Structure 1
Amino acid sequence: MEKTERTVAELILDQLHIFGVKRIYGVVGDAIIGLIDALASQDKIKFIAVKHESTAAFMASAEAKLTGGLGVCTATMGPGVTNLLNGLGDAYSDKAPVLAITGQAPRNKIGTDFQQYVDQQELVKPFAAYSANLASQDAIIELLQKAAQTSLGQRTVTHLSIPKDLFEKLAAVKPRQLPTVIEGDSTTFKQESLEQAAAIMKTAKRPMILAGAGSAAASKAIEELADLWGAGILTSLGGKGVFSDSSPNLLQGIGEGGNPYASEVFKEADVVLLAGVTWWPDGYVPKDARIIQIDNNPDKIGKSIPTELGVIGEAGEVIPPLKESLKSFTPNTDWLTRRHEIKEKWAEQNEREGNTPGSPIYPSRIVRAIERTVAADAILTLDTGDVTVWMNRNFRQNNQTVLFSGYWRTMGFGLPAAIAAKLASPERQVVAVVGDGGLEMVLADLLTATRYNLNITVVVFNNEALQMERDKIKAAGEKEIGVDLTNPDFVKIAEACGWRGFSADTDAALESALAEALNTASPALVDVRTAQAFFPETE
């Protein structure tokens, strides 16, 4: 006879399986023992045991960024849920759909001085668009449905706290698919806004397009639009890799770490089209241009950029009709020449920088070696710091996917993201490019890669400093303290954790070490002795 009742923990896993969840990242703790028991009794969803709750949330965030699906992490009450917050901040800031499930005090102890108790709804409020405490076993499916619908629909973080005594309570409710939502017809509104956008675009003598991660599905259409309109294309860090480096319209990135000459031409623009991007860096952008912003979220229009016209919709839906409107447009040949000069000027300098000799190795030279050795479809995960801006500046992306902490900009993201990426896409090469400071925050999770036999590669920019902070202190003319690092022997640490370890301190050794590491059928770390080079655009 079929079992008509399931425990709350079993129902959570049944429902998450229907949502397509394959992994839950977390650390075992007393208040979630009921959930851990249910995980151990089934094989549809795998529990990935990590060393710290913050890395569990980083992994859930990275998986959500990579796949677009729901990333899930779990933690016990008190210190456990508190430790999740940094990773949840990353997911919230970068619009990654993540659900955090945390244990809570038994129902009769909520609000008391019970050990480790904290009001979790208040705690996660800055990061969770929806947070609820389960009060009855019969409400679990309804709460999971609302959480998943919110996370996936709004690309945001949600949170459920489950009192410890409820995990093993029986309920007769049944899991179900998320409802299909059909949006109302807004053709008239869209047509009106498209006509206004086209009218503004036709006034352009010096057009530019700024594209971000949200434009990935429309990259071909954007390139075709740029051809018709005579526009140069610039990208945010999130848009890096959306367009081929060989594109005649692409001028690379904007802002710190981008094309250093791009701001010159961008400031001259008279009309700018924003696609899949909601932020631009102060000091690098035009002040008087007419700005059109495409975004499917009305709340994002004009939030950080002074937009004249917002077009609500996905870039893939909006760009094609704009192309049709501009078929008879005649681009400004002087502007085409200006754009081409800027592109060539930076391409020549970038090539020179990537071949800068020296020992310790110059950062641009490391980037060029990574570029030459990684697979064309590799997943690269970046930590935050000096390594991020050097990769943004010099890495000429092919078809690689890059994951990073965009708006939250937290250190420690690179290694956990690589672990999650390999679990989600085991067939792809995964490379974490990290600074020594960022890696040292999450060193314990080298063991997580070993535990799950993940042949990821970690490349460490080892300059024994928090170099970005040192640069900023120098640029401000201030005194420095605390920026020197006391580093371990990373190769020995890696080997002690079951990894293969490689090192390079000369140009000659660099690419061979990278190539061998990338072809190792186990986790591998490459310790690169890196010059303490002052980043050119530090302000």
Structure 2
Amino acid sequence: MTKTERTVAELMLEQLSMYGVKRIYGVVGDATIGFIDALAKQDQIQFITTKHESTAAFMASAEAKLTGGLGVCTATMGPGATNLLNGLGDAHADRAPVLALTGQAPTDKFGTATPQFINQQDLVKPFAAYSANLASPDAAVDLLEKAVGTALRQRDVTHLSVPKDLFMEKTTETPRPLAEVLEGTAVFTKESLEKAADIMKSSKRPMILAGSGAAGSAEDLQKLAHLWGAGILVSLGGKGLIEESAPLMLQGIGEGGNPHASELFKQADVVLLAGTTWWPEGHVPTDARVIQIDRYFNQIEKNIPVELGIAGTTEEVLPLLNEHLEGFSRSDDWVARCQDVKEKWARDNENEGNSEGYPVHPSRIIRALDRTVAPDAILALDTGDNTVWTNRNFRQTNQTTVFSGYWRTMGFGLPAAMTAKLIHPDKQVVAIVGDGGLQMVLADLLTATRYRLDITVVVLNNESLQMEKDKIDVMGTKVIGTDLTNPDFVKLAEACGWKAFRPESVDRLESVLEDAFHLGGPALVDIKTAQVFFPETE
């Protein structure tokens, strides 16, 4: 039987489609012309062209975070590849499986002084679990399978560079599906968790810190908190995991969390980390015994003083721990202290969220969003003052939040919102951004216009890099460079084909947001925001 001949680029796209890839984000460049040609000739994978390669990488990272599947981005050699790095850093830091496909110098110019050449394997080494340069058309299937398999199994970034001429070389190789890996469940029994249970039973002041990795275990977490008498705190990724009304749910910890919970947490004698690798320095006990449950425990490299690590899912482990704790004599005094902290913050938070004045207090803006966004909305957070105020004042229920966790890069919010809308066209998508973060990706307002993406960008406009200003104030050092020179965001958005709004009073917040949410196209809400010192700044 005669084998079908296709170009390397066509082969790679067929294989990626076989792996379930629906979108590739990128910018066209000279070294990827063959790849772009193949993209244009097929309709299985959509090419989303962005204004800047960092946006493409942010969008690929957001895709991986929102779907759990592979995000893919592409760029040309040299400056195109280097521009991807910020988004690849975000994906690497948050364990999001992303594949970067970059063009490279032609094979007869590889390693020479040809313009834009750089050893890309060295370039991406800090972020990529696997990187290779394609040297032969017939190796494309093997390398792509290795790159995708590594990204998905290790939850990390991988990278392939392809010389410009090889994209259009012919090959008779055949795309093949990714080898299926059956992970099954970990072999846990009630007896195998006796050591963890013994540590937990020794506690008089227990606490649970939960994150996005415990998303499927909300009921078991609440049961554990009840049996053990433990307060529940959550990372930003764990917001909305448990209903705010749950008796021992104390909300967040650290910057943007429940400010009364910090001192309580410092007194804990045993802490259970469930599905989170985040450890809020300065808000935690120094001598507590720490148990951590994480599916990828062997990959955790965070500075957490763990005494006992359990490599498994919370769905597998928590039910067995609950069996161990049946009949446990919990401390009623500790439970009462947890409930007191919960009630005190609920009162304070309600008052703070109803702050008056114009420019608008950031808490009031977040409370307006809390009252108006859809129950199943997707919130894309940029990094900055907007992040901590959202964490502090947004009472999340069934909404999904996507953000830059460990990398904490500015400029993530708008790209993540666009990706969210491409994945979930029927859901309301709202980006909550600061004026500084938005200015880093302003050109990509036109990307939302190009693809007619019905998203709303809410700008907390305080004409300042407020988080940095607050930290400088705390340190007592001299301030320079934190004041922003802002455009008129309303006019700018309108020039890009968006509808734009600016509420002129605090009383108009909710109504303006409602108008923006129901437009049926990209909308921007520019809110004059008070420069408020964030109370938990360190």
TM-score, normalized by length of structure 1? 0.98
Please state how far the C-alpha of 1:289 moved relative to its aligned partner.
Answer: 1.2
Q: Structure 1: which amino acid aligns with 2:49? A: A
1:61 counterpart residue number: 61
Q: Give, in whole Å, the separation in 1 of the partners of 2:180 and 2:226.
A: 38
Residue aligned with 1:187, SS: coil
* Residues matched between the structures, number: 538
Unaligned runs of 5+ in 2: none
Residues 525 and 183 of structure 1: CA distance in aligned 2, closer, same or farther (over 3 Å) = closer
Q: Give, in whole Å, the separation in 2 of the partners of 1:275 and 1:185.
A: 17
1:242 counterpart residue number: 241
Q: Give, in whole Å, the separation in 2 of the partners of 1:143 and 1:427.
A: 36
Q: What pairs with 1:516-527 in structure 2 (closer than 5 Å)?
A: 516-527=515-526
Residue aligned with 1:109, SS: coil
Please state how far the C-alpha of 1:365 moved relative to its aligned partner.
Answer: 0.1
2:289 counterpart residue number: 290
Residue aligned with 2:431, SS: strand
Q: Give, in whole Å, the separation in 1 of the partners of 2:11 and 2:319.
A: 44
Answer yes or no: is the 8 Å Cα contact 2:3–2:172 preserved in 1: no
Please state how far the C-alpha of 1:302 moved relative to its aligned partner.
Answer: 7.2
Answer yes or no: is the 8 Å Cα contact 1:296–1:313 preserved in 2: yes
1:39 counterpart residue number: 39
Residue aligned with 2:432, SS: strand
Please state how far the C-alpha of 1:3 moved relative to its aligned partner.
Answer: 6.2
Answer yes or no: is the 8 Å Cα contact 1:371–1:396 preserved in 2: yes
Q: Structure 2: which amino acid aligns with 1:120? A: Q
2:198 counterpart residue number: 199
Give the aligned CA root-mean-square deviation in angstroms: 1.4
1:17 counterpart residue number: 17
Unaligned runs of 5+ in 1: none
Q: What pairs with 1:305-320 in structure 2 (closer than 5 Å)?
A: 305-320=304-319
Q: What pairs with 1:196-275 in structure 2 (closer than 5 Å)?
A: 196-275=195-274
Q: What pairs with 1:97-246 in structure 2 (closer than 5 Å)?
A: 97-183=97-183, 187=187, 193-246=192-245
2:392 counterpart residue number: 393
Answer yes or no: is the 8 Å Cα contact 2:190–2:324 preserved in 1: no
Matched, 1:424 2:423: yes
Q: Structure 2: which amino acid aligns with 1:52? A: H
Runs of 4+ in 1 over 6 A off after TM superposition: none
Q: Give, in whole Å, the separation in 2 of the partners of 1:510 and 1:494.
A: 19
Answer yes or no: is the 8 Å Cα contact 2:380–2:416 preserved in 1: yes
Please state how far the C-alpha of 1:185 moved relative to its aligned partner.
Answer: 8.8
Residues 455 and 328 of structure 1: CA distance in aligned 2, closer, same or farther (over 3 Å) = same
- The worse-fitting range, judged by mean Cα deviation, of 239-248 and 376-385 is 239-248
Q: What pairs with 1:395-410 in structure 2 (closer than 5 Å)?
A: 395-410=394-409
Answer yes or no: is the 8 Å Cα contact 2:186–2:312 preserved in 1: no
Please state how far the C-alpha of 1:279 moved relative to its aligned partner.
Answer: 2.4
Q: Give, in whole Å, the separation in 2 of the partners of 1:90 and 1:359.
A: 35
1:360 counterpart residue number: 359
Q: Describe the superposition over 1:206-261 as per-residue Cα deviations: whole angstroms up to 9, x where unpaired.
A: 11110111111222211121121111110111111222222212101111111001
Residue aligned with 2:84, SS: helix
Answer yes or no: is the 8 Å Cα contact 1:278–1:304 preserved in 2: no
Please state how far the C-alpha of 1:2 moved relative to its aligned partner.
Answer: 7.8
2:83 counterpart residue number: 83
1:482 counterpart residue number: 481
- The worse-fitting range, judged by mean Cα deviation, of 505-514 and 334-343 is 505-514
Q: Describe the superposition over 1:112-150 as per-residue Cα deviations: whole angstroms up to 9, x where unpaired.
A: 001100000000000000000001111111111111111
Q: What pairs with 1:1-12 in structure 2 (closer than 5 Å)?
A: 4-12=4-12
Q: Give, in whole Å, the separation in 1 of the partners of 2:192 and 2:499.
A: 56
Matched, 1:461 2:460: yes
Residues 507 and 185 of structure 1: CA distance in aligned 2, closer, same or farther (over 3 Å) = closer
Q: Give, in whole Å, the separation in 2 of the partners of 1:536 and 1:294.
A: 31
Q: Give, in whole Å, the separation in 1 of the partners of 2:2 and 2:248.
A: 62
Answer yes or no: is the 8 Å Cα contact 2:298–2:311 preserved in 1: no
Answer yes or no: is the 8 Å Cα contact 1:301–1:307 preserved in 2: no
- Identity among equivalent pairs (%): 68
Q: Give, in whole Å, the separation in 2 of the partners of 1:315 and 1:448.
A: 39
Residue aligned with 1:342, SS: helix
Please state how far the C-alpha of 1:301 moved relative to its aligned partner.
Answer: 5.4
Q: Give, in whole Å, the separation in 2 of the partners of 1:170 and 1:304.
A: 49
Residue aligned with 2:111, SS: coil
Please state how far the C-alpha of 1:5 moved relative to its aligned partner.
Answer: 1.7
Q: Give, in whole Å, the separation in 2 of the partners of 1:296 and 1:108.
A: 45
Q: Give, in whole Å, the separation in 1 of the partners of 2:337 and 2:249.
A: 13
Q: Structure 1: which amino acid aligns with 2:279? A: W
Residues 184 and 513 of structure 1: CA distance in aligned 2, closer, same or farther (over 3 Å) = closer
Please state how far the C-alpha of 1:70 moved relative to its aligned partner.
Answer: 0.2
Q: Structure 2: which amino acid aligns with 1:312? A: A
Answer yes or no: is the 8 Å Cα contact 2:190–2:321 preserved in 1: no
Q: Give, in whole Å, the separation in 1 of the partners of 2:440 and 2:522.
A: 18
- The worse-fitting range, judged by mean Cα deviation, of 369-378 and 323-332 is 323-332
Q: Describe the superposition over 1:509-533 as per-residue Cα deviations: whole angstroms up to 9, x where unpaired.
A: 1111101000111100000000000
Answer yes or no: is the 8 Å Cα contact 1:92–1:127 preserved in 2: yes
Q: Give, in whole Å, the separation in 2 of the partners of 1:498 and 1:181.
A: 46
Q: Describe the superposition over 1:129-178 as per-residue Cα deviations: whole angstroms up to 9, x where unpaired.
A: 00000011111111111111111111100000000000111112211221
Q: Describe the superposition over 1:479-538 as per-residue Cα deviations: whole angstroms up to 9, x where unpaired.
A: 111111111110101111110000023211111110100011110000000000011111
Residues 91 and 329 of structure 1: CA distance in aligned 2, closer, same or farther (over 3 Å) = same
Residue aligned with 2:108, SS: helix
2:471 counterpart residue number: 472
Q: Structure 1: which amino acid aligns with 2:351? A: R
Please state how far the C-alpha of 1:330 moved relative to its aligned partner.
Answer: 2.3
Residue aligned with 1:74, SS: strand
Q: Give, in whole Å, the separation in 2 of the partners of 1:524 and 1:187.
A: 50
Q: Give, in whole Å, the separation in 1 of the partners of 2:449 and 2:505.
A: 28
1:412 counterpart residue number: 411
Residue aligned with 1:107, SS: coil
Answer yes or no: is the 8 Å Cα contact 1:293–1:301 preserved in 2: no
TM-score, normalized by length of structure 2? 0.98
1:345 counterpart residue number: 344
Q: What pairs with 1:326-345 in structure 2 (closer than 5 Å)?
A: 326-345=325-344
Answer yes or no: is the 8 Å Cα contact 1:25–1:49 preserved in 2: yes
Q: Describe the superposition over 1:263-318 as per-residue Cα deviations: whole angstroms up to 9, x where unpaired.
A: 11111111111111112121100112111111122334574211111111111111
Q: Structure 2: which amino acid aligns with 1:505? A: E
Q: Structure 2: which amino acid aligns with 1:28? A: V
Q: Give, in whole Å, the separation in 1 of the partners of 2:15 and 2:140.
A: 9
Residues 498 and 307 of structure 1: CA distance in aligned 2, closer, same or farther (over 3 Å) = same
Q: Give, in whole Å, the separation in 2 of the partners of 1:69 and 1:525.
A: 30
Residues 16 and 525 of structure 1: CA distance in aligned 2, closer, same or farther (over 3 Å) = same
